[in-house]
Chain A
Amino acid sequence: MRWPETRRDKGYIPVAQSKVITFHPQPDRSACAVELRGVHKRYDHFVAVDHLYVSIREGSVYGLLGPNGAGKTSTIRMMIGITMPDDGHVRLFGEPFHRRQLRRIGYMPEERGLYKRMKVLDHLILLGRLHDLTERDARDRAMKWCERLKIASWTHNKVEELSKGMQQKVQFIATLLHDPDLVIMDEPFSGLDPANAVMLKDVLIDLKKAGKTILFSTHRMDQVERLCDSICLIDHGRAILEGDLKKIKASYGKNHVQIECEGDPHLENCDLVQSVNNYGNYVEVQLKPGADAQRLLRVAADRVRISRFELLEPSLEEIFIDQVGKHQVSKHA
């Protein structure tokens, strides 16, 4: 399905076509590192990406979220020309997609690997060469990175002789060697040991400070909350929530309450309450829409002794589950 030219030309992106909520005005197009316009990808009868509109501002950290099989990897693959969309357009750095723009992109796929029998330095030089670096330049940069990540003494070993953690470091270096303006990482934290996860996070923050655009896809919400400026939540190939993370969370309001108390307040049957999670030390309550937290406090205080009562923003995980659930309900309706 194509949108009429006039609407597109006005810069209006109809993300709200179904149940999608946008939380930021359409940004200036020239400042977009990636822009997907109605991108569609179908494998036989299975729609992997369903007319998706995404804009990623330059210099932002963008999270592509969604359950497994939502279409995250398919979307990323179309951004960097591994596959072509059946419909719609991909724009990179304000221009229509062209392979020569790939030298400005560093991509670390979820399925990552290296030639096991190649020497580390040779391998990095190879990948640098494929991103149009000269051999000498690739070698210098590789050595610098290896020193920074403390694997400089292993550069003449074969990849298979390195520990898994060191191989992961080599993989990061390979992604960042050509100093890309846009870094795309598909599930970057999966399979990382804790030390490397911290190191990767630090590297990403440095990149952000240097003005690079970072896109990563994940289903681990805690990392998104800490790192991302903006998110796009996709399910069944459709964007169901897109925009600035802070605004999204604010719009959900403070409808969560944490109660620290002695004993169980038994709030399940209270007509103010949507759901209750009893964690033992405290109880977390989601209020029904429009319910007043003060009334809940009074109800709870009647039943147990309360030591703490706090209103909270919902976690991204809850928003995620809420949105995916709603989406599925509306889909089946």
Chain B
Amino acid sequence: MHNVWTLVKREYLERVRSRSFVIFTLVMPAIMAGVVLIPATLDQMSTGGERKIVIVANNPQLASVVGQQLGNPRTQTQPEELGKARAAKLYSIRVDTDTSEAERARLGQQVNAGQITGFLWLTDDALATHSVVYSTREASDFTQSRELRNAISTGIARYRLSQKGMSGPDVDAVLTPIRLDTMRIEKGHQGASGTAVFLTAFAMVMLLYSVVLIYGLAVMRSVIEEKSTRILEVLLSSVTAKELLAGKIIGVGAVGLTQIVVWVVFALIFSVPGLVAAKSFLGEMHIPMPAMIAFAVFFLLGYLLYSAMYAAIGAMVNTDQEAQQMQWPALIPLVLGVVLMNAVIQHPNSAMAFWLSMVPFFAPILMLLRIVIEQPPLWQILLCLGLMLATIYGLLSLASRIYRVGILMYGKRPTWPELRRWLRYAG
């Protein structure tokens, strides 16, 4: 145990002190933050100044209702807080009742000259055909055309309903869109909304997937590095191959855990403002305690399972290039788990979801997913953990046999029959 501890300490300190660890740990949250913040910032920057729009209509009342509707925040696609602030000054509306072709040409010239942003041809003829033309130079601005379409539809409906004698509040009541919130039931209580659960599950699974993959590969590369620097035989004169393998897997795993902890802390510190903004359309972002525990358990088990495979692969090969060709036995099940995620998300209670999540190689991803999005029966979770532990035990003993022989073998990569013989060697 003393030796294992010494090896774990080395593996951990050397990695955590390395420049690449520090950079990766810092850059990853920056990328994550960038994914969220940059589009929002760009969007804000790109909206530019005021939009001068001329509404050409035979009916000035209809035109002004549509114009008001454009200024109405509810037609905006942005979150409400931002929308309110922007809507007031975004559109400057002028109503024009001259529907002649000459006026159309004149407005076209104004658009070209940049005096107005665009004009909306809302004549009675256009309304009769349910087809309205908005002429502008920025025809590719989808956000704006969606806003316009919403404003026109709602404006026309509002105008016609009030023409039929409906009062203002009644019209509002009719036109307010229905928002659908899917809530998850947890132990009979009402829990988080569907979107939030889905996003939480997705984030957790992707984090688990990427960390297991990154650190599984780190174990493999570390074994290859020890092989290629020829340090192994020096070490083997005082420690056993099993101690080496244990020290490596535990040490690298501890680095992975450290990274996750750092990221979670980062996320808590920096994403609080983001979460507040996101609340309006996501509902409460809410990670229940059982999901956190499940994440920790499945991360550890998943990491053990895959790192054992990666360590064995590392022991079999001599170079990174060879490892690339040999790593499919470890890579495919992991990627397949992510691919199958979609099927499990759609039918988390199906027999297929059950069987898939029982496969130890997929379990870290699929069972975790099921635990986060629904609550599988306890026996299923326990069965799954039992199967995983048995598989990990088997894989570790297999890996340590391959490792023990492989680390002293240089040169040619073993063939399958050779590998089978390695497993039988006495020691």
Contact = CB atoms under 8 A, between A and B. Distances in A.
A115 B229 contact: yes
B229 A102 contact: no
B230 A130 contact: no
A103 B238 CA distance: 7
B237 A107 contact: yes
Contacts of B229: 113-116
A83 B231 CA distance: 17
Contact of B233 (A84, A112, A117): A112
Interface string B404-427: 000010100000000001000111
Contact of A44 (B226, B231, B421): B421
A162 to B, nearest CB: 13
B427 A130 contact: no
A107 B229 CA distance: 17
Contacts of A127: 234-235, 238
A106 B426 CA distance: 24
A43 B3 CA distance: 29
Chain A facing B: main interface SS: loop
Contacts of B410: 111
A82 interface: yes
B237 A109 contact: yes
A131 B425 CA distance: 27
A309 B149 CA distance: 117
B236 interface: yes
Interface string B233-247: 111111110000000
A200 interface: no
Interface in A122-140: 126-127, 129-132
Contact of A84 (B236, B237, B427): B427
A111 B396 CA distance: 27
Interface in A180-224: none
- Interface centre among A81, A82, A127, by most chain B C-beta atoms within 10 angstroms, is A82
A109 B233 contact: yes
Nearest to B425: A43
Interface in B378-409: 408
B6 interface: yes
Contacts of B236: 82
B347 interface: no
A102 to B, nearest CB: 6
Contacts of B106: none
Given A84-B426, A117-B14, A118-B14, A102 B237 contact: yes
Contacts of A115: 14, 226, 229, 231
Nearest to A180: B237
Nearest to B408: A82
Contacts of B235: 127, 130
Contact of B6 (A77, A118, A126): A126
A106 B427 CA distance: 21
Contact of B230 (A83, A84, A107, A112): A112
B137 interface: no
A258 B240 CA distance: 53
A241 interface: no
A86 interface: yes
Contact residue range for chain A?
20 to 34
Nearest to A113: B230
B401 to A, nearest CB: 13
- Interface centre among B18, B237, B238, by most chain A C-beta atoms within 10 angstroms, is B237
Interface in B1-45: 2-3, 6-7, 10, 14, 18
Given A82-B408, A126-B6, A112 B234 contact: yes
B427 A131 contact: no
A130 B231 contact: no
B234 A83 contact: no
B29 to A, nearest CB: 26
A171 B231 CA distance: 10
A82 B237 contact: yes
A174 interface: yes
B283 to A, nearest CB: 48
A112 B229 CA distance: 8
A175 to B, nearest CB: 8
Contact of B238 (A44, A102, A117, A118): A102
A99 B7 CA distance: 17
B238 A111 contact: no
A34 interface: no
Contacts of B408: 77, 82-83
Contact of A130 (B6, B18, B233): B6
A105 interface: yes
A80 interface: yes
B6 A174 contact: no
B39 to A, nearest CB: 39
A130 B421 contact: no
Interface in B283-324: none
Nearest to A159: B229
A113 B18 CA distance: 20
Contacts of A113: 229-231, 234
A51 B238 CA distance: 26
14 contacts: A77-B408, A82-B233, A82-B236, A82-B237, A107-B233, A107-B237, A108-B234, A109-B237, A112-B234, A114-B229, A115-B226, A115-B229, A116-B229, A132-B2
Interface of B: 2-3, 6-7, 10, 14, 18, 226, 229-231, 233-240, 408, 410, 421, 425-427
- Pick the 10 closest A-B CB pairs, nearest first: A113-B230, A107-B237, A109-B233, A113-B229, A84-B427, A130-B238, A111-B230, A113-B231, A82-B236, A129-B6
